[in-house]
Amino acid sequence: MNGLAAWWARLPRDARDSFFLLGVITAVIAPHADHLPWWSSALTTVVLAWRASLAWRQRPLPGRWWLAAVIAVYTGLTWLTFRTLIGREAGITLLVMLMALKTMELRARRDAFVVFFLGFFLVLTQFLYSQSLLMAVWSLASLWGLLAAVVLAQMPTGIPSIGIAARHAAGTTALGLPVMVLLFVLFPRIAPLWGVPTEAIGRTGLSNQLEFGAMNEIANDESIAMRLKFEGALPPPDQRYFRGPVLTRFDGKTWRAYDSRSSQSWLRGRDDLATAGPALRYEMTLEPLRISVLPLLEMSPGGVGSELNLTDLTVVRGPELQWLSPRPITERLRVATSAHTAWRAGERRNRLQLTTDLDLPAGLNPRTRAWAELLAGEARFATLGPGPRAEALAAALLEHIRSQDFTYTLTPGRYGETSPDVIDEFWLDRRLGFCEHFASAFVVVMRAMGVPARIVTGFQGWDAEPQDGYQVVRNANAHAWAEFWVEGRGWVRSDPTAAVAPNRVTQGLALRPQPGVLGQFNPTLWRAMRNGWETVNNRWQQLVLNYSRDNQFDLLKRLGFSQPDWTALGQALAGVILVLAVAGAAWIRWSSRPHDAWSRQRARIAALLTRAGVSIPAHESPAAWARALRRQHGQKAEPAAQWLEKLERSRYAPDASAPAWGEFRAAARMLQP
């Protein structure tokens, strides 16, 4: 450490300032690295390293032809990548390039200010990707570094030091924080501007299709998918299902949702819904899932075609009773809704509408289909009516899973490498899998026995311990289960995973990957640290990110506005801006006045002498002022001149006392015309 400090001290002052500025630029650009093309990050790194090398070797900056060539290459690659030079991704890519290249022509102060302004703008664009607490802290640190660089640019080289500039920048940042908080609280939330920032981290793996064996990837994702707070008692563990995409079409390896735009969509029909019992009311904060389905707790009320109006987003109830969004959910949502654990759906469906829920790819999985036909042909099912027969066949399948050596595991290996009959391989041979394998096989076998069935994906369960009063559902809680159709009852949920791994459903314990080094060393400490951070992050989301127009109106009501609306909000904001402007003007006036005792006394002396017709230069001493008085007024100025000489002796003599101010004031007033 001492060696590094000594090396830094030996650097020329301008080299140290250059390295500091390059470090700040790197901090500003770093959050964009995950969102820029790889070549952009590589070229930016090369340019910044080139600039650091020139500062280290004290070499001159490159000519403009070199810069023009780099700009041409960068712009061409941007066009080839995005097919445009306009838009968020292309625009930020070009801004990063301009900021890096501008460091190659820091020949004047105005060049430095261009870099600073680009840096401030890029700090702002970071929130287009993430509004997390870490991003806010990082942006604040980047802002501090940019302000310190601005202070350095205002001063001669080497004056002040980087440490002093950083302290000045910290003070300026601290002064600006209260203003920032006030404007945040009162600035109107006007759509669509307030809905622009999005998160890029939310990826649950859920989509309108499900490939056999692909869901194990999301089981490794411990990030939070949603948080819930219930008004009353929690639903029982076996009712904690969050309905997402419903998948009906199977090609032998991949399940897909039915295309509602198809000309044959009328064949699907629409599932009717009837709910019963008390409603479970809850509030949900949903992270950006990047899917076009809003996963709500089963079963939320509202028939097919019903609308749920959220902030800047309206979701519609789909034909399979899932909530469909017109676009992928790429921003955090807050939803207040309800659910019923007792429900019936799809009772009034005819056989024509159920044909797609019986369809199987021809020629695939022949052994499983033969096995299913043997089971369905057993005598115990022959005398049952259609409805009881379907339920009995489903119960027989679940009992088969429980009684045989099926294993619930995240590492079953790959299926379908030697044969396209993946269900045969799982159901009859290896019998290793997780929720997706069991749900897929269950639906295929049920269809082979003549019972309509389909797959539902979403989430199931949540953490055993709440955080800050919220139930936490993680991406690792993503789940797949089955529904089969019973005449007279409609669709019935059946989760074959519960037959092989009951804890997955009854306790919400999703499979977890092997913990990291810290988790293996002290899993309790690791969970406590993770939960602590997630609690802090949840407070940030609830208090800051979820601060909405309604919160603003509630604040106005507490401040005394009888009818809070946009007009009242504008009045409050205008009042705050007026108070800030007056306070700023008062601060500037006060800071321009002298604040030490000698400066204040000198200002009073100068005012009295000016009235007496004597101007005193700032660099002269009181003895010089006394000589000027004598020249101007002669013997009449002697009392005032002697007082000034006593003042000078009191400032420099060790034992002299300061003369009384009233004596000089009386003597000086005698000299005024």
Radius of gyration of the chain (CA): 37
Provide the pairing of β-strand 293-294 with 323-324.
antiparallel
pLDDT band for 669, please (50, 70, 90 cuts). confident
With 60 as the cut, is the pLDDT of residue 224 above it?
yes
Q: Which CA distances in Å does 99 have to 67, 127, 155, 397, 629? A: 12, 18, 22, 64, 59
Tokens linked to 494: 């059946």
Q: Return d(Cα 505, Cα 498) in angstroms, integer.
A: 6
Q: Return d(Cα 117, Cα 147) in angstroms, integer.
A: 10
Are residues 518 and 508 located together in one domain of the fold?
no
Q: Return d(Cα 231, Cα 240) in angstroms, integer.
A: 15
With 70 as the cut, is the pLDDT of residue 594 above it?
no
Look at residue 397 and tell me if it is in a domain: yes
Look at residue 195 and tell me if it is in a domain: no
pLDDT value at residue 160: 59
pLDDT value at residue 560: 78
Bridge partners, residue 485, by sequence: 491
In one-letter notation, the amino acid at residue 601 is Q
Q: Return d(Cα 117, Cα 150) in angstroms, integer.
A: 10
pLDDT band for 569, please (50, 70, 90 cuts). confident
pLDDT band for 393, please (50, 70, 90 cuts). very high
With 90 as the cut, is the pLDDT of residue 367 above it?
yes
Are residues 658 and 557 located together in one domain of the fold?
no
Are residues 555 and 543 located together in one domain of the fold?
no
Residue with tokens 């500003």: 28
Q: Which residues contact 484 (CB under 8 A, 6 or more apart)?
A: 390, 394, 443, 446, 451, 452, 453, 491, 492, 494
DSSP state of 201: -
pLDDT band for 444, please (50, 70, 90 cuts). very high
With 80 as the cut, is the pLDDT of residue 643 above it?
yes
Q: Write out the residue range of the structural domain in which residue 542 sits.
A: 514-547
Angle CA(104)–CA(108)–CA(110) in degrees, nearest 5?
100
Helix (H, G, I), strand (E, B) or coil at 491: strand
pLDDT value at residue 11: 64
Closest-CA residue to 375 (of 454, 482, 448): 448
Are residues 42 and 130 located together in one domain of the fold?
yes
Look at residue 317 and tell me if it is in a domain: yes
Q: Return d(Cα 421, Cα 177) in angstroms, integer.
A: 63
With 90 as the cut, is the pLDDT of residue 363 above it?
no
Are residues 373 and 333 located together in one domain of the fold?
yes
The answer to whether the CB of 103 falls within 8 A of the CB of 115 is yes
Tokens linked to 187: 């600035």
With 80 as the cut, is the pLDDT of residue 229 above it?
yes
**Length of the chain (residues):** 673
Are residues 315 and 383 located together in one domain of the fold?
yes
pLDDT band for 442, please (50, 70, 90 cuts). very high
Are residues 508 and 587 located together in one domain of the fold?
no
In one-letter notation, the amino acid at residue 106 is L
Which of 513, 531, 561 terminates a domain? The answer is: 513
DSSP state of 561: -
The answer to whether the CB of 210 falls within 8 A of the CB of 252 is no
Asked which of 6-10, 58-62, 436-440, 446-450 is least confident by mean pLDDT, the reply is: 6-10
Q: Which CA distances in Å does 435 have to 26, 464, 622, 644, 655? A: 44, 20, 92, 95, 92
Percent of the chain with pLDDT over 90: 12
Q: Return d(Cα 67, Cα 52) in angstroms, integer.
A: 16
pLDDT (average), residues 141-150:
85
Q: Which residues contact 244 (CB under 8 A, 6 or more apart)?
A: 206, 291, 293, 295, 322, 456, 457, 458, 459
Model pLDDT for residues 234-290, shown as the tens digit of each residue: 998 889 999 999 999 898 888 888 765 554 555 566 788 888 888 999 999 888 777
Look at residue 483 and tell me if it is in a domain: yes
pLDDT value at residue 203: 47
Angle CA(389)–CA(484)–CA(225) in degrees, nearest 5?
150
Model pLDDT for residues 159-170, shown as the tens digit of each residue: 557 777 788 888
Look at residue 182 and tell me if it is in a domain: yes
pLDDT value at residue 512: 54
With 70 as the cut, is the pLDDT of residue 57 above it?
yes
Phi and psi torsions of 309, nearest 5°: -90, 115
With 80 as the cut, is the pLDDT of residue 364 above it?
yes
Look at residue 1 and tell me if it is in a domain: no
Model pLDDT for residues 528-562, shown as the tens digit of each residue: 776 777 677 767 776 776 677 767 777 788 877 77
Average model confidence (pLDDT) for the chain? Answer: 80
Look at residue 3 and tell me if it is in a domain: no
Are residues 134 and 159 located together in one domain of the fold?
yes
**Helix axis angle, 597-611 relative to 622-633, nearest 10°?**
10
pLDDT value at residue 396: 92
How many domains does the chain fold into?
Answer: 5
With 80 as the cut, is the pLDDT of residue 230 above it?
yes
Provide the pairing of β-strand 254-256 with 249-250.
antiparallel
Are residues 82 and 67 located together in one domain of the fold?
yes
With 70 as the cut, is the pLDDT of residue 417 above it?
yes
pLDDT (average), residues 134-139:
85
pLDDT (average), residues 569-574:
80
Are residues 457 and 576 located together in one domain of the fold?
no
Q: Return d(Cα 80, Cα 98) in angstroms, integer.
A: 18
Which of 491, 513, 535 terminates a domain? The answer is: 513
pLDDT value at residue 389: 92
Model pLDDT for residues 173-209, shown as the tens digit of each residue: 888 888 888 888 777 766 544 444 444 444 445 777 8
Are residues 324 and 455 located together in one domain of the fold?
yes
pLDDT band for 615, please (50, 70, 90 cuts). confident
Look at residue 199 and tell me if it is in a domain: no
Q: Pick the more confident residue, 397 or 617.
A: 397
Q: How far is CA 202 from the centre of its chain?
A: 9
Model pLDDT for residues 80-133, shown as the tens digit of each residue: 888 888 888 888 888 888 888 888 887 666 777 888 888 888 888 888 777 778
Percent of the chain with pLDDT over 70: 84
Closest-CA residue to 29 (of 149, 107, 151, 115): 115
The answer to whether the CB of 448 falls within 8 A of the CB of 369 is yes
pLDDT (average), residues 1-30:
74
Bridge partners, residue 242, by sequence: 297, 459
Q: Return d(Cα 292, Cα 103) in angstroms, integer.
A: 43
Are residues 245 and 118 located together in one domain of the fold?
no
